[in-house]
Amino acid sequence: MARKKKTVDLDRDNGVAPGIIAKTKKRLVVAGGRSHPELTAAVAEALGTEIAPVEHRTFASGEIYARFEVSIRGVDLFLIQTFGEPVNEWLMETLIMIDAAKRASAKRITVVAPYYPYSRQDKKGRGREPISARLVADLLKTAGADRVMSVDLHAAQIQGFFDGPVDHLFAKPVLLDYFERTLSPADREILTVVSPDMGRVRVADTWSDSLGAPLAIIHKRRDPKVANQVSVHEIVGAVDGRTCLLVDDMIDTGGTIVKAAQALKANGAHRVIVAATHAIFSDPASERLQDSSIDEVVITDTIPLTESRRWDNLTILPIAPLLARAIHEVFEDGSVTSMFGGDA
């Protein structure tokens, strides 16, 4: 009697678990909330796709409603929502959209939040304070988000608040490319990178290395009982006769940046240029930032800005190409870290 030929499981021999190959293929779908529709459209265009239609409503009572108008069963959904004003309304809308997507059987839900809400409340500075950045992460996870993508988190530790993958992107390549194209040779010769406070020294140091410029640090003291008020004390480093590039992750009311710029000019700085990722620009930031001590402000469009909050010396750079590339890497199971030289 002939022996039965042994069937070899090639998948197992190759170190791959045996299984069934489905006829369906991965499908990338982009959807967005109402906080920044221009950014969502720009990201979709950069990816070569269209935005999934979503029905949005806000009832007279203030309750929010969201419904996906097409099937999203089994898709890899990237939900784009940033968090400018009104931050609490956009946060609630995001949670409702995540829940709708989960109940519509989306395979994976990635929240793309260019500006992460409540990111400044990342630790307890005094007793009986909340850690609201952690609370936001818990809300996103509970609603059904599988992954979070954000740009220039105020504190890197926020990545550990979310129980799942977090893609921490950096706007530095976008901003750096602009300065490499626009700074004159004369400015490059006398350029100094300045950190507006001790908390941003590490970021400013990477800028210093990239631009081959010396580093200066502004020492400031903030009253923990009074929000948005800063006293600049002293400058560590040479700024006299230099072109100073102030780098920060966000500008809210502009108090820190303006006082830093004034201190630099008072210590002999030739020019002061401000570079920041997130332009929150709470009143009266736009008026403050037009101070004579600041020669130019360069930001990205992670947060939408109305025309009333723009002025001649403000430059806005698009963040959509960076987000689109990161989304493509995540969808294709590629490397987001490789986009930033291994730093992400």
Indicate which residues carry an active-site annotation: 220
Q: CA distances (Å), 214 to each of 42, 190, 191, 194, 206, in order?
A: 36, 9, 7, 9, 11
190's tokens: 């006398």
Q: Give the three-state DSSP class for 320.
A: helix
Could you give the CA distance from residue 41 to residue 36 in angstroms, rounded to a whole number?
9
Q: Count CA within 13 A, CB hemisphere, residue 290.
A: 9
CA angle 320, 321, 324 (to 5 degrees): 80
| Mode of pairing for the β-strands spanning 271-279 and 166-169 | unpaired
Could you give the CA distance from residue 321 to residue 319 in angstroms, rounded to a whole number?
6
Could you give the CA distance from residue 245 to residue 204 in angstroms, rounded to a whole number?
9
